Chain A
Amino acid sequence: MNPLVSQIRDTARRLLAEGRVELVLGYETGPVPLRNAPCFVRNANEVDSLTWDHFCSLNLAVFLHGNPRRIAILAKGCDSRAIVNMLKERRLVRENLAIVGIPCRGMIDRAKVERLAGGSEIEAARIVGEKIIVVAGGRMVEAPVEEMLRNACRECAAPTPTYYDLLLDGTARSPVAVGAIDELPQSDRTKRWRRFEAEAAKCIRCYACRNVCPLCYCRECCADQSNPRWIGTSPNPSDNEMFLLMRALHLAGRCVDCGACVDACPVGVDVRCLFKRLEREVRERFGHISGADPNEKPPLATFSTTDPEDFLTTV
């Protein structure tokens, strides 16, 4: 068993026993391979359902919204950044929260594994050492774990949480230098737009990306407003593009690149292609890394006379 699993269970047991929290939010083995389910632990006898492996991609912070209980939450690097932003935006009561940081080794991208398996439904999956072995369509295929990790994980600059109440022992992935990987070059607008169009064309408007995102919590989403109807509900190219662009702009400087939206999409839209780009804009122009520093003001909630303004004058 992964040594983190026993640490997680012991911690959960202790926090519940001490009365520090009423609920522990973690992961349990999911109904399908490669995707663990959220685990809501309220009693010591449920603690042994908690697990930890390369399949904990869901960002549990989404379940904190509107929950008035005292909660302990397992947080990878990206999850902790989301929590930081939720705290800054006053979505959470800090005293009610126990953040259990976990040094993250990266999470598996289900779509990559399905592609590896030739588009077949994955029947079983196992991590053996540095390899992932899956059974799909009746045959066995394997690949290095590293290659099957989500892009958000492969490009993660902070796999170990920087903000937590306690940090479990473990070895995280080596962080990647901030901004080291950028697949859409700034220069080629046409290419970027074509890429975005191709992604948007797949969208079925189920809003899984929006609903799984801990930072997409508007009481009324503008995609749902009907008077006026800002964005048409038809899954056609222009309305899909409007929805994705609207969401991206609303998350500019706030998105923590946890990749939950990409995982959630049932039709494989690479929602992240936009967010990655915005993350860079905000970093390069305002020196801000979203969710990294709990004391830093959000870039769009502050003003400095040195803020760059060239975007106002250049086309």
Chain B
Amino acid sequence: MRRGILAKERLGDLIRRWAGERLVVAPVRHDTVEFEPVSSADEIELGYRNTRLPAKRFLFRPSEALLRFDLKAAPERRVTEAATESRPMVLFAVRPCEARSFTLLDRVFLGGDFPDPYYANRRGATAVVGLACAAFAPTCFCTSVGGGPADRTGADLFLFDVGEVFLVDVVSKRGEELLAGLPLPEAQPETVERADRAAAQLAAAMTVVPGLDQIGPRAEEVFGDSCWQKIGERCIACAACSFLCPTCHCFDIQDEVLDQIGRRVRNYDSCMFPLFTLHASGHNPRAEKSQRVRQRLMHKFAYFPEHFGAMACVGCGRCIRACPAANDIRQWLRILAASCPERT
């Protein structure tokens, strides 16, 4: 890994150059801060904590056509595959939690025998520029799930804002390509130390939810715990948490047809909806809210670790910020973690 200094006045050139050849997506401040396509560095907001919507929507789209059909056409032209996007993209100034979320989505959509072409094409053309956190929001808990304010996981380039300059870590070959030979003068040891110390101090000051890695190994006991009723009764079973979660990745497939012409789309779906598991018979294995909340939490902290080797939560806190019923996943997890040892 190469480390160097990038003067802030060079950022304008860099963004302009990238914007000439790729889609550049970066945080922009309006009433809230959101990721949006930008064409110049002036539009970019670096002083944000977390955007309201996650950057995942640029890789895993809220709604995406899989194929188009025209049942009135000749048999060989009835179905056409939807074009998959592969325009090069830079996701710029992404917080470490979100950069990490991409590596979790990768495990779902790129792993196994059947990589998802829609996600894969976009992801393959995307470079991620991470930005170390200088402060955390009251809802942040990344250090409890393996992340941190300077976690470089998922980033190709990683920036620390250290006053007049950025300290830049070139994390991957793709990051090197992004710089395209741009010289990075070596950083003063003092600058490096300042950046690392600030990140370490920030990490140390964050709220910790302990014992989350114990939920997986005790999944069966946790599943049968009496706490779920209490947790479930506070939930209104909407999908604000799922749709704003950087790692939730469930989708529903629908045909949208008008007069025999239409498209097959996949849209975000959520295990918080009863419809998610409603059988054709009318039976619903997760008819109760408490069962659905359990599914969402267990998927993140037991099943996903079992199948993909990591917790499916990056501690961004969006679900806490957005929950209409003011639920706090950290509080729920504390209850779960506390219910584990009691039963041993």
The yes or no answer to A72 lying at the interface (CB within 8 A) is no
User: Quick one: closest A residue to B270, CB to CB?
Assistant: A206
Q: Mark A123-151, 1 if CB is under 8 A from B, else 0.
A: 11000000000000110000000000000
- Check if A62 sits within 8 Å of B236, measured CB to CB: yes
What is the CA–CA distance of A114 and B230 in the complex, to the nearest angstrom? Answer: 31
- Check if B267 sits within 8 Å of A119, measured CB to CB: no
What is the CA–CA distance of A233 and B236 in the complex, to the nearest angstrom? Answer: 20
The yes or no answer to B335 lying at the interface (CB within 8 A) is no
- Check if A212 sits within 8 Å of B325, measured CB to CB: yes
Which residues on B are within 8 Å of A, measured CB to CB?
Answer: 29-33, 47-50, 52-53, 62-63, 135, 137-139, 230, 233-234, 236-240, 242-244, 252, 254, 256, 265, 267-268, 270, 273, 275, 320-322, 324-328, 330-331
User: Quick one: closest A residue to B330, CB to CB?
Assistant: A31
User: Quick one: closest A residue to B233, CB to CB?
Assistant: A40
Q: Mark A34-45, 1 if CB is under 8 A from B, else 0.
A: 011110100000
A residues 89-127 near B (Cβ < 8 Å) are 111, 114-115, 118-124
The yes or no answer to A307 lying at the interface (CB within 8 A) is no
Stretch at the interface among A163-171, A179-187, A244-252, A261-269: A261-269
- Check if A114 sits within 8 Å of B238, measured CB to CB: no
| Chain B residues, CB < 8 A from A211 | 236-238, 324
Which residues on A are within 8 Å of B, measured CB to CB?
Answer: 30-33, 35-38, 40, 58, 62-63, 111, 114-115, 118-124, 137-138, 204-208, 210-212, 224, 226, 229, 232-236, 260, 263-264, 266-268
Q: Is the interface of A mostly helix, strand, loop or mixed?
A: loop
- Check if B328 sits within 8 Å of A263, measured CB to CB: no
How many A-B residue pairs have C-beta atoms within 8 angstroms? Tell me.
129
- Check if B29 sits within 8 Å of A37, measured CB to CB: no
| Chain B residues, CB < 8 A from A114 | 31-32
What is the CA–CA distance of A248 and B326 in the complex, to the nearest angstrom? Answer: 25
- Check if A235 sits within 8 Å of B138, measured CB to CB: no
Q: Is the interface of B mostly helix, strand, loop or mixed?
A: loop
What is the CA–CA distance of A10 and B233 in the complex, to the nearest angstrom? Answer: 24
- Check if A264 sits within 8 Å of B49, measured CB to CB: no
- Check if B139 sits within 8 Å of A32, measured CB to CB: yes
Q: Given A232-B256, A266-B52, A115–B265 Cβ distance below 8 Å? A: no
What is the CA–CA distance of A200 and B324 in the complex, to the nearest angstrom? Answer: 19
- Check if A120 sits within 8 Å of B49, measured CB to CB: yes
- Check if A58 sits within 8 Å of B31, measured CB to CB: no
- Check if B52 sits within 8 Å of A267, measured CB to CB: yes
What is the CA–CA distance of A290 and B157 in the complex, to the nearest angstrom? Answer: 57
| Chain B residues, CB < 8 A from A62 | 236
- Check if B321 sits within 8 Å of A37, measured CB to CB: no
| Chain B residues, CB < 8 A from A260 | 324
* One of B265, B322, B325 near A38 (C-beta < 8 A): B325
| Chain A residues, CB < 8 A from B47 | 137
| Chain A residues, CB < 8 A from B50 | 121
What is the CA–CA distance of A260 and B325 in the complex, to the nearest angstrom? Answer: 10
- Check if A40 sits within 8 Å of B234, measured CB to CB: yes
- Check if B321 sits within 8 Å of A212, measured CB to CB: no
| Chain B residues, CB < 8 A from A264 | 236, 238, 240, 324
- Check if A32 sits within 8 Å of B326, measured CB to CB: yes
- Check if A232 sits within 8 Å of B237, measured CB to CB: no
- Check if A206 sits within 8 Å of B243, measured CB to CB: yes
User: Quick one: closest B residue to A110, CB to CB?
Assistant: B321
Give chain B nearest CB distance to A290 CB in angstroms. 21
Extra contacts besides A32-B139, A35-B326, A226-B275 (20): CB < 8 Å: A30-B326, A32-B326, A37-B234, A37-B328, A38-B325, A40-B233, A58-B326, A63-B233, A115-B31, A120-B48, A204-B268, A206-B242, A207-B239, A211-B236, A211-B324, A234-B265, A235-B267, A264-B324, A266-B243, A266-B244
User: Quick one: closest B residue to A239, CB to CB?
Assistant: B256
What is the CA–CA distance of A268 and B52 in the complex, to the nearest angstrom? Answer: 10
Q: 27 interchain pairs (CB within 8 A)?
A: A30-B326, A31-B139, A31-B327, A32-B138, A32-B326, A33-B138, A36-B326, A37-B327, A40-B230, A58-B325, A62-B236, A111-B31, A114-B31, A121-B49, A121-B139, A204-B243, A204-B268, A205-B267, A206-B239, A212-B325, A224-B275, A233-B254, A235-B62, A264-B324, A266-B240, A266-B244, A268-B32
